Amino acid sequence: MTAISRDEVAHLAHLARLDVTETELDRFAQQLDVILQSVQRIGEVAADDIPPTSHAVPLTNVYREDVPVPSLAREDALAGAPDVAEERFRVPRILGEEE
């Protein structure tokens, strides 16, 4: 399943919150298509009975104890922020609702 359309690219850009231009849409559609064609090959060899690997060295049960450690000083936490108000991160008006 390749041949990625311009509309699909536009949808992906929206999912990824990327404001791509019209020119970029065309260019990306073409480039993504080439890449997708070449990666499609893995379907040749990835049979059903093969388990996936998500981690190189298998570890399980990696935890930490429920003991507090010092947090960042507030000025450090806010230092990199583009906009701060009332000790909080200020953002422009939000359109969508919370999940």
Partner 1 sequence: MTTATLSSYEGVISRYEPVIGLETHVELGTRTKMFCGCATGFGADPNTQVCPVCLGLPGALPVANAAAIEATIRIGLALNCSIATWCRFARKNYFYPDMPKNFQTSQYDEPLCEDGWIEVDVDGEVVRVEIERVHLEEDTGKSLHVGGATGRIHGATESLVDYNRAGIPLVEIVTKPVVGTGAKAPEVARAYVTELREVIRSLNVSDVRMEQGSLRCDVNTSLNLPGQEWGTRTETKNVNSLRSVERAVRSEILRQAPLLDAGERIVQETRHFHEDTGKSTAGRSKETATDYRYFPEPDLAPMAPDPDWVAKLKADLPELPRTRRRRLQAAWGLSDHDMASVQNAGAVDTIEATIAAGAKAESARKWWMGELSRRANEAEIELSDLAISPAQVAQLQTLVDAGTLNDKLARQVIDGVLAGEGDPAVVAEARGLAIVSDTGALTAAVDDAIAANPAVAEKVRAGTHAAAGVLIGAVMKTTKGQADAKTVRQLIIDRLS
Partner 2 sequence: MTIIHSTAAELAAGIAEGRFSAEEVTKAFLDRIAAVDGLVHAFLHVDAEGALATARAVDADRAAGKPLGPLAGVPIAVKDIVVTKGLPTTAASKMLENWIPPYDATIVTRIKAARMPILGKTNLDEFAMGSSTEYSAFGATRNPWDLKRIPGGSGGGSAAAVAAGMAPLAIGTDTGGSIRQPGAVTGTVGGKPTYGANSRYGLIAFSSSLDTPGPVARTMLDAALLHEVIAGHDPLDSTSIPQEPAPVVAAAREGLTGDLSGVKLGVVTQFAAGEGAEPGVIAAYQTGVEALAKLGAEIVEVSCPHFEYALPAYYLIAPSECSSNLARFDSVRYGLRVGDDGVRSLEEVMAATREAGFGPEVKRRIMLGTYALSSGYVDEFYGQAQKVRTLITRDFEAAFNEVDALISPTTPFTAFEFGARTADPYQMYLADLYTIPSNLSGGPAVSVPVGLSDGLPAGLQVMAPTLRDDVAYRVGAALESTQEPRLSDQIPDVADKEL
How far the first Cα of the chain sits from its last, in Å, is 32
DSSP state for residue 76 in the 8-state scheme: H
The length of the chain is: 99
Nearest of 7, 64, 65, 60 to residue 32 by alpha carbon: 7
In the complex with partner 1, the residue whose CB is nearer, 23 or 61, is 61
Q: What is the largest CA-CA distance in the chain?
A: 57
Residues touching partner 1, count (CB under 8 A): 34
* Position 70, amino acid: P
* Position 73, amino acid: A
Q: Which of 3, 54, 66, 99 binds partner 2 (CB under 8 A)?
A: 54
In the complex with partner 1, the residue whose CB is nearer, 41 or 55, is 55
Binding site for partner 2 (CB under 8 A): 1, 4, 8-9, 12-13, 15-21, 24, 28, 31-32, 34-36, 38-47, 50-57, 59, 62, 64, 72, 76-77, 79-83, 89, 91-96
Question: Which residues are near partner 1 by CB under 8 A?
Answer: 15, 17, 54-55, 59-69, 71-72, 74, 77-78, 85-94, 96-99
